[in-house]
Structure formats: C-alpha cells, structure tokens
Amino acid sequence: MTAVRTTFVNTASDLLDADPRTALVLADISASAFAPAARRHPDRVLNVGIREQLMIGVAGGLALTGLRPIVHSYATFLVDRAYEQIKLDLGHQDVGAVLVSVGASYDGSRSGRTHMSPGDVALLDSLGDDWRVHVPGHPDEVPPLLRAAVRDDDRVYLRLTERRNGVAYPDADRLRVVRRGRAGAPVVVAVGPTLDATLAATRGRDVTVAYTHTPRPFDTAGLRALAGTEVVLVEPYLAGTSAAVAGRALADVPHRLLALGVGATDLRRYGDPTDHERWHGLDAAGLRRSIDAFLD
C-alpha cells in the first residue's frame, strides 16, 4: 500500500479500537488491510462485497443507530456509482458519515476510465453546502483530519491521493500563505497535492501562493483578505469546481479568475498519473504556461 493509504488504515484501525461508536463499511477495497481490525471488531467492520450502493445504505442505517460510520472505496465507486444513495440515505435522512476515497482523479489511470473520478467534489457540491471536503496533500495531514471527522456527526468527504507535496501543513483548513507577494499581487490558491507544482510554476513571479487541504467549506474570508485583482485556482479535480464559490466571495471586488484543474474531456487514455498530470496541464510546466498566459 502507498503511504497515504497505510496512514488511513492505521488511523481508522486505532479509532475502531478507541471509540466504540466508530464503524467501518467496505466494499471489498482494502478489506485485507483491515482484516486485523475486523477480527477485533466483527460487529463494527462490515464488508458488503462489491455492492457500493449497499455500502452507503448500510452506513446510513448505522448512523441512524448512533454509530459513526467510515465508508471507504475508490472515489469512482464511492461517489460516482453511489451518488443516489449518498443523496438519499445520507442527505435526505440527514445523517452523517465519513466517506474516505482513494484513487482521486487519476491515480487508478492504469485501470482505465472506470477507475478515474475527477468529478467527485463537483458531484458532492450538487447536494448542497453541508458537505465538508478534505483533500490532503501529504500523508501527515490525514490523521488529524480523519480523527476530527469521526468526532462529530457531519457529512465529510476525505479524498486521498498518491500525489503528495514535500511538506505537510496540518493546520491548513483555511488558506495558509506559503509564499507571499507584494500587496495587491495576484493570488494563486493551491488545493491539496497541487502545491509543489504550483510553487515550482510560480517561482520568480510576484504572486502570493496560499494552500488549503479543506476546499469545503472554502475559506472565503481568507480569499477576500488576500485577493488582489487576479486570482488563480489550482485544484486536483475537475477544473472550475471552486470557481463559483470564489466568484461569490469576490462578487463586490473587481477581479479576474483563472480556474485550473482536470479537464472535462475524456482523454480515452490509460497512462500513469504523471502522464495525466501533464496531459491536463497540472504539472509545473503546464501550470506555468497557463498562469503566465493569464497574468501576462
């Protein structure tokens, strides 16, 4: 397993040991990694097999009994495939769960389009503004986010990816300035694992680079405090996902906005994650081209 997935398994297993309210619902993915926890807590670690819609329904039922379910699979199976059950069994019933995905936009690209999910955050946005979304950019950001999510009863989505930054910023639930430009300089907001490429792409430019691992709720107050007349969003999922949020935050401020992310066009390619990062212009060179063209 990758470092981020191992960190998730270890943290979730510790939570199952420490808190009798915590439950885990799987659909075969990561079942072997959670086998020791399942042996210790057979009543609270449930594997429903390859039935992702049922996985969400079971989580909704557990939440109705007072348990706090963690629900885990690939993003494309967890969010895309089970969207209706998320809408009804969690949202309509007004119960919470912690959805934890792996695979992100294109970590699973070697398996083809079936394992890619660039639109997951946009799908959750369509369900209203009561979802908290975390997109950690480093494995060390995962444990505090997961522990905090399990402590409450909200609807939370924790989006894990193999892509990672070199430095962890566990406190970046709000916009955290990583590189500060002059007063009024353009602001570039990097979400999750896009930070290192964004820093490389803007090296030598007079811009402020801010980072967050929590795009929902988006730190609109922080954006207003930092924003000049030009704002760039760099997100590791569907391009433009946060454009409306940023636009509303700056509705009374003259500004230009560039939203970068995964393109909406199906490339119909396999490749590895580094290939897709390059094809979608999310590597440092691609970001540099887009940001230079926008600012120049």
pLDDT along the chain (296 residues), means of 10: 92 98 98 98 98 98 98 98 98 98 93 94 96 98 98 97 96 97 96 98 98 98 94 98 97 96 95 97 98 96
232 Cα distance to chain centroid: 18
- Asked which of 159, 188, 203 is the last residue of a domain, the reply is 159
Strand spans (E) along the chain = 22-26, 45-47, 68-74, 97-102, 131-134, 155-159, 176-179, 187-191, 208-212, 230-238, 256-262
139 and 184, same structural domain? no
pTM above 0.85, yes or no: yes
CATH of the domain at 134: 3.40.50.970
- Asked which of 159, 191, 216 is the last residue of a domain, the reply is 159
Give the structural domain span for 105. Answer: 3-159
Is 25 inside a domain boundary? yes
What is the C-alpha to C-alpha distance for residues 270 and 276, in angstroms, rounded to an integer? 9
Is 136 inside a domain boundary? yes
123 and 256, same structural domain? no
Neighbours of 88 (CB within 10 A): 13
What pLDDT does residue 228 have?
Answer: 86
198 Cα distance to chain centroid: 17
What pLDDT does residue 227 have?
Answer: 85
What pLDDT does residue 1 have?
Answer: 67
What pLDDT does residue 104 have?
Answer: 85
What is the C-alpha to C-alpha distance for residues 120 and 214, in angstroms, rounded to an integer? 15
What is the C-alpha to C-alpha distance for residues 172 and 20, in angstroms, rounded to an integer? 29
What is the C-alpha to C-alpha distance for residues 188 and 179, in angstroms, rounded to an integer? 10
Is 164 inside a domain boundary? no
* Residues 40 and 16 sit within 8 Å (Cβ to Cβ): yes
